[in-house]
């Protein structure tokens, strides 16, 4: 039988972590949200409140559901606050050493039967699991951004992930009303293995002067019917995240076709990371986004 999950911990109160807390609370789970910065937790709670209010205005949920969900989310001041949770989902920055440090600090606070999941979009589940005291209870649960709107969740087993952990994770994701895609533990899994090389190729197309930012995005929106152009999407994801995934693909698969475009590297070095820094392939500091190239 699958292990029952009722209480969920989320580590990381950024865009992904707040979205995960949002959908978990709406699905009826008790949620504890932790971040190294208490201010980020406050900001996340305000964001969740605002996003749920928009769902009420669009009649996606009722005001009663919003209030009930908000009451289910509580700040976690320290790792010790996760002592009674059944599942912890790590959603920190996409850096392996950061995630491993979190697991090292977290594991002593967890009850033995607690499942530990990572929301990594590209890193090895097997390697991350080996940094914990419970590789058989470790799994990848990769949500898409923005979490409340995107229907898909990738579930990835590491080599040591137990059947009970796998079944419990699938049951949990199903209760969030998400569709599951099971991926093998290869660099970037399914979605990013396909999506990020496309974005990287779009950046090469810009780098080589084949088209402008506006031309490339318009071509893919109208020519391939994508809802968002690849450069606009890169800004939305975060250019630092795009670069991290491409580096994982390049190093993990040792194929030159995954080499990050030098222009992507240059933008990240400049601190132009997209929407979150208000500058990337578009400049977001004015009334409307303007292409930077």
Confidence of residue 242 (pLDDT cuts 50, 70, 90): very high
Q: Which of 34, 154, 169, 200 is catalytic?
A: 154
Catalytic site residue 37? no
Residue 1 confidence (pLDDT): 57
Residue 278 has pLDDT above 70, yes or no: yes
Measured CA distances, 157 to 138, 140, 186, 189, 281 (Å): 8, 6, 10, 11, 35
In this prediction the pTM is: 0.93
Active-site entry in 18, 121, 200, 244? 121
119 is catalytic: no
122, 124, 169, 192: the active-site residue: 192
Residue 154 a catalytic site member: yes
Q: Does residue 95 have a pLDDT over 70?
A: yes
Q: Is 192 a catalytic residue?
A: yes
Measured distance between the N- and C-terminal CA atoms of the chain, rounded to whole angstroms: 55
CA separation for the pair 56, 58 (Å, rounded): 5
**Bridge partner list, 274:** 279
Instruction: Check 18, 142, 200, 244 and give the catalytic one.
Output: 142
Confidence of residue 3 (pLDDT cuts 50, 70, 90): confident
pLDDT at 121: 95
Give φ, ψ of 129 to 5 degrees.
Answer: -60, -35
């Amino acid at each position: 039988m699958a292990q029952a999950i009722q209480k969920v911990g989320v580590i990381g109160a950024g865009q992904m972590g707040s979205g995960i807390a949002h959908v978990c609370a709406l699905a009826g789970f008790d949620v504890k949200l932790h971040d190294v910065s208490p201010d980020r937790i406050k900001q996340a709670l305000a964001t969740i409140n605002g996003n749920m209010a928009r769902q009420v205005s669009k009649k996606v949920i009722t005001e009663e559901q919003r209030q009930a969900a908000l009451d289910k989310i509580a700040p976690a001041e320290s790792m010790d606050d996760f002592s009674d949770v059944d599942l912890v989902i790590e959603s920190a920055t996409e850096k392996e050493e950061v995630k491993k440090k979190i697991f090292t600090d977290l594991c002593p606070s967890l009850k033995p039967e607690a499942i530990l999941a990572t929301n990594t979009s590209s890193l090895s589940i097997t390697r991350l699991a080996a940094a914990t005291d419970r590789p058989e209870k470790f799994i990848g649960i990769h949500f898409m951004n923005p979490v409340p709107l995107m229907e898909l969740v990738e579930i990835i087993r590491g080599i040591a992930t137990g059947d009970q952990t796998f079944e419990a994770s699938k049951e949990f994701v199903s209760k969030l009303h998400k569709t599951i895609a099971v991926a093998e533990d290869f660099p970037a899994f399914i979605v990013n293995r396909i999506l990020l090389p496309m974005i990287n190729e779009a950046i090469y197309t810009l780098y080589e002067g084949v088209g402008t930012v506006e031309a490339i995005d318009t071509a893919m929106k109208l020519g391939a019917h994508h809802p968002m152009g690849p450069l606009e999407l890169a800004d939305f994801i975060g250019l630092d995240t795009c670069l991290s995934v491409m580096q994982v693909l390049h190093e993990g698969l040792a194929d030159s076709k995954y080499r990050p475009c030098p222009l992507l590297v240059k933008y990240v070095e400049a601190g132009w990371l997209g929407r979150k820094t208000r500058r990337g392939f578009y400049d977001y500091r004015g009334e409307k986004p303007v292409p930077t190239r």
